[in-house]
Each structure stands twice: as structure tokens, then as C-alpha cells.
Structure 1
Amino acid sequence: MEIITTEKFEKATYPNESNRFNLAMLTGIPIAILGLILTIASFGLILIYIGVIVFFVWFSLSIAKMNLVGNSVKVSSHNFPEIFNIYTEVKKELSYTKEVQIYIVEDGSVNAFLAKFFKTQFIVLNSELVKDMLSNKDKLIQMKWIIARFVGALKAKHFKTTILKLIFENLERIKIFNFFLLPYERATQYTGDNIGMMVTQNVEQSIVAFNKLMVGNDLSLKIEFRGILDQGKMLRNDSFFSFLARAFSSHPHLINRYLNLLAYASKEFPEQFDKYISDLDNETKHNLFRMLPYY
């Protein structure tokens, strides 16, 4: 087990994440304050309004957590100890000391998500995802990528804009200014994927795990690398509508996340990356390197 240094952790950060955060703060805070003033200044209730929003979100998330406690299985040393051991190992490698609870829910989809608000933070894993990742050592590495990208997000404090986003979403007249926050949120998704690979130190299994999030366990085996590149070209060639399609989303296009993972792999794990693309013909490799984002 290798303890991740601060320098190595920072290398996993998406190049534009810091700039996007600064943009979100410089534009978002004044706009949010102005919106609150225009909306409720006549009642002198700005702080109360913010407090109500914060309380409502905390209250709702606490209820959701209790629903998980009552209707799912919590990962522990007793239930799903393999996942619990991975979680414990990831926390040590990332030097993250706060508790993160993990719950497994019965669901037909292959997915996972992280929820955090103040001290409430938990990871939800769907049963379809879990059952495919516990059968052998390689698949446990895939699970480690999932856990590491979420714990890494907490370590990187990727929820710094939560209050600002809540204000925007609860004031109709300034909701459009989420446009200034969402580029930062998309950047954090890239960083989370990179952190997962950084912790596993396994390019192939990290990408396999990502493929499963894209299309599910069974179909992930049928994904053809060249097809992903073709879709990447389509996004690049139709850049205007591609931009509009993602402009108001908190997550990047999955194809772009895939290419970002490869770019990170080419920089931090060049030998594994070269092996991963070794079967590609020269033309495909050339197209790939043209499309990879800069690191």
C-alpha cells in the first residue's frame, strides 16, 4: 500500500479545475448576493432564507440517509468485508480520516454516487455494479477505482460550491447563473476519475470500471476503442451543439471523461498506457493523440 503524497494528489487534478473554481467564486458570489437582495430584501430575511435552504437540504439528506439505513445494506466488516477493506485501504492511501458510510441498494442499473452536505456524507453503490466487481482480484481493482474517486472527491473538497448552487437553484431569476458553477463541477468529475486511477495504479482496470458505468457490466466487454474515438470526433466536429449539450450539465460527456482518463494515463502511467493501445493501428493511434486533452 502506497500513501499518496500531496504532490502526486495534485497531479491528478484536472488542469482547469482551479481556474473554473475561481470563475465560479468571482462571478457566482456577487450574483447570488444580488439575487437574494432583489428577491427578499424588502422583508430583511436574506440570512433567514439562506438558513431555510441549508436546513431543508440537510433535513432531506438526513431522511435519505435513514432510508438507506432502513432499506439497504451498509458496508462494514460484517457485510461485504471485501468492499470495506478496499474503503479502509483507500482512506489510508489518501490520508483521509473522516468517516464515509457506504450503502448497497437493490437496483437494476449499474451506477454509484456520492452525497455530502456538512457532516453527512455517504456513498451509494447499486447491487448490479457490486455483484460484478467482487469475483476476482482484477474486479476488486475496479471497485477500488469507484471508491477512490469518491473518497478522493471528499479529500479534494469538491463540494465547496454547494451552498452557492443551492441559492441559484432556489431563486428562479438567477438559476441561469448555474452556468458559472457547472464548468467547475464538470472539472471535478475529471479529477475524481483521475484520482481513482492514481490510487489503483492500474490503467486497464480503471477504464474497464468506467466502461461499466457507461453501459453496464455485460455490455462493457463489447465496447470497441475505435468507436469511442469516432464519437469523440463527432463531439469535436460539431463543437457548437456539443457545447450547448453540456453547458448546463454538472457532468461532462462520458466520451470526454473516457478520453480524459486516457490522457491522464499517458502522462502518469506511460508504460501501461502504451501497452493498452498497443493493438491499435498507426492511424488510430495518431487520431487518438490528436484528441487527447492536454496534461
Structure 2
Amino acid sequence: MAWFVMRLWNARLLGHAVKVTPESFPELHAEIIRIQQKLDYHRPINVYVADQVEGKVTITSLLGTRVLLIEGGWVVDLQAEGPAPLRFLLGNFIGFLKARHGHLATLVIILDHLKWTAYIDPWMLPYQRSAEYTRDHIGYLCAEDLDASLRVLSRLTVGKELAGSISPAGVLEQACRVDDSAMAHFAELFQASPHMINRYVDLVTYAAEANPAEFERYRADLTDNGQRFLRKLLTESPYRHAASGAPRQPAAGRS
């Protein structure tokens, strides 16, 4: 049944959305091929563009069918800021396929049908949150631009109109509050995705390891308060590994 539904959905998209090909969207298609080559991922992906997409972008990988659905206005907004934001987005989702984070999808569907998901969620949700961090890391490595990658996360959080007005120091201050809040940690336990604030800080601290020079530029641009909040996060929170120089656990091990 899942195979049939997936095939039916793919056929529906073929009739109601525009498939990305060298003829329909040559620039977007070229970027997708570029990211696939960078990640050494060569399996076929059916990429479609539609007017409205929940969450701006969705990806589904099930029983050999891989579908990436992107909101058209979202692509235009990202392309207007140069190639890096779009590469972060594509790297994030194609990285999902490369890392095989969807390989349990069929099992989850079966367990959901059997009403057993309540028993596996305590184990599945931490894995899904960890996978989200890994996808952000892959997206950043594809974009090769920390500021552009953080802008995409900001857009996903507050929208394009306000994303450029966000103060990094304010985000870091809020991250400190989240880190100190037992209730915030408890609330995250029931989510498949980590808090967006945590994703923002995790990406900043990952850059400290992946590209120390770029991290130092980010830190140098912060206000005094922003640098103080960042030091607190690096030394007193789960992000402290990047500041101490101690070996950090792999991204997929975080919850």
C-alpha cells in the first residue's frame, strides 16, 4: 500500500507541479547536479517545484522512490542572495539521502499501522533530531558560507521579511536561556526536530571545527554581549567541545 501511495503521489506531482529538468529549470537543475556530485550521490531524485509547499521544502524517500518538493517562491528568494543559500538548502536535503536518514521510513509506517509508534518514539525521536544536525552540517559544507547558511535557518524561523533584521547577539542570548531551561529541554524530547535556536548555535560551533577562520570572522562581528553569550554556550553547554578543543562526538550522536 505504501508503495502504491508513493507512486500515486509522484504521478500527481507530475501533473500538478513542474519537474526540474535541464529544459524546465536549467539553473536549479545545474545546482542539484552540482550538489549530488559534491556529495557523491548519484541515485535519481524526482525534484518538483510547486506554488505552495508546507515547510517550504519536503523530501520523501520510500521503497526506491525519492521525491524532493520545493516551493517556487522560496527558491527565488534564495537565488536572489547568491548561490550559497540555495546550496545549503539542497545540501541539507540531498545530504538526508546520502546519509540514508530515511532508511527506516518503511519500518516506521508499519509500526504506525500497528499502533506501536508510542513504544518506539523514545528511541526514534533522538535519532531524528540528531539527523537534523547532521543535515545542517552537510548543507553548510556544500554552501561553504556560514553567514548564508545561518540566514536560511533565520528565514525558516521568522520569515524572509524579518530574517535580515535578526541580531546574532539576540539569538545567542536566547540560546543561553534555552540551554538553562529544563522545561525547554523537556519540550524538545517530544519533537522530531531540534529547537531552531539549537540548530543555529550548533551550526556556529560546527563551523569552529570545520572552518576556524570563518568562525573567527563570525565571532569578531559580534557585539561584546554577543561574544559573552557565545563564550557561555561554548563553555557551559553541550556545545563546549568546540571551545575546549576536546574531541567532539559525531553530529549523529547528539539528541
TM-score normalised over the length of structure 2: 0.86
Q: Which amino acid aligns with 1:248?
A: F
CA RMSD in angstroms comes to 1.9
Considering Cα pairs closer than 8 Å and 6+ residues apart, tell me whether 1 or 2 has the greater RCO. Answer: 1
> Match of 1:116?
61
Distance across 1 between alignment mates of 2:116 and 2:69: 33
Alpha-carbon deviation of 1:108? 7.7
What's the secondary structure of 1:123's corresponding residue? Answer: strand
Would you say the 8 A contact 2:176–2:229 is kept in 1? no
One of 274, 284, 293 as aligned partner of 2:226: 284
> Match of 2:132?
189
Alpha-carbon deviation of 1:126? 0.9
> Match of 1:102?
47
Distance across 1 between alignment mates of 2:112 and 2:189: 16
2:212 is equivalent to residue 267 of structure 1:
no
Distance across 1 between alignment mates of 2:115 and 2:199: 30
> Match of 1:142?
85
Alpha-carbon deviation of 1:109? 6.7
> Match of 1:213?
156
> Match of 1:70?
15
Counting aligned pairs with the same residue, the percent is: 26
2:178 is equivalent to residue 235 of structure 1:
yes
Q: What stretches of structure 1 of length at least 5 have no aligned partner?
A: 1-55
Distance across 1 between alignment mates of 2:21 and 2:32: 10
What's the secondary structure of 1:133's corresponding residue? Answer: helix
Distance across 1 between alignment mates of 2:55 and 2:67: 18
Would you say the 8 A contact 1:142–1:205 is kept in 2? yes
> Match of 1:172?
115
Would you say the 8 A contact 2:56–2:74 is kept in 1? yes
Distance across 1 between alignment mates of 2:177 and 2:21: 44
Residue-pair matches, total = 237
Distance across 1 between alignment mates of 2:116 and 2:128: 21
Distance across 1 between alignment mates of 2:155 and 2:124: 28
Deviates more, 1:194-203 or 1:223-232: 223-232
TM-score normalised over the length of structure 1: 0.75
Would you say the 8 A contact 1:210–1:258 is kept in 2? yes
Q: Which amino acid aligns with 1:289?
A: R
- Cα displacement string for residues 172-209 of structure 1 (whole angstroms, at most 9, x for unaligned residues): 35524211111011101100010011112111111112
Q: Which amino acid aligns with 2:131?
A: T
Distance across 2 between alignment mates of 1:81 and 1:251: 32
Would you say the 8 A contact 1:149–1:193 is kept in 2? yes
Would you say the 8 A contact 2:128–2:193 is kept in 1? yes
What's the secondary structure of 1:218's corresponding residue? Answer: helix
Alpha-carbon deviation of 1:75? 1.2
Distance across 2 between alignment mates of 1:144 and 1:285: 28
Alpha-carbon deviation of 1:159? 1.5
One of 37, 49, 57 as aligned partner of 1:92: 37
Distance across 2 between alignment mates of 1:83 and 1:246: 34
One of 122, 125, 133 as aligned partner of 2:70: 125
- Cα displacement string for residues 3-34 of structure 1 (whole angstroms, at most 9, x for unaligned residues): xxxxxxxxxxxxxxxxxxxxxxxxxxxxxxxx
Would you say the 8 A contact 2:168–2:226 is kept in 1? no
